[in-house]
Structures are given as C-alpha cells and as structure tokens.
Amino acid sequence: MRMIGLFLALALATNLSFGQATEQESIKSVINAAYVEGIHNHGDLNLTRSGFHPDFH
C-alpha cells in the first residue's frame, strides 16, 4: 500500500512540474510575440495589443 502512495505522489509531482514548464513557455511566448516582436522588431501595435487582456485599458 505504501508503494502505491509513493508512486501516486511521484506521478503527481512529475505532472505538476511539467505543467509549470508549459505555463512558463506560454508566458515567454506571449512576451516574445507582444513585446519583442510587436514593439522592437516590427512596430506592430496589433501584435503588441495581442499580449494584453481585452479588458485592460
């Protein structure tokens, strides 16, 4: 029974760490597209606006 609990704990910890990496990559992607590409490389305001929530004024 203890082995099952240990296995489940390790599986959950592994799943959580992969979720964080995916979230971090998503955040980096938004920053890269909206800020780096939108402002610095292309000057495209629509691309820059895509990095902000629609309700942000």
pLDDT tens digits, the chain, 57 residues: what are they?
676 766 566 666 665 555 566 888 888 888 888 888 877 777 788 878 888 888 886
How much is the CA Rg of the chain, to the nearest whole Å?
19
d(CA 57, CA 37): 21
**pLDDT at residue number 22:** 80
Tell me if 50 sits within 8 A of 32, measured CB to CB: no
Choose among 21, 41, 38, 27: nearest CA to 50. 38
* Domain assignment of residue 44, yes or no: yes
* Domain assignment of residue 36, yes or no: yes
Q: What is the DSSP letter of 23?
A: H
Tell me if 34 sits within 8 A of 47, measured CB to CB: yes
For the chain, the domain total comes to 1
* Domain assignment of residue 6, yes or no: no
* Domain assignment of residue 33, yes or no: yes
Q: Which domain holds residue 47?
A: 25-57
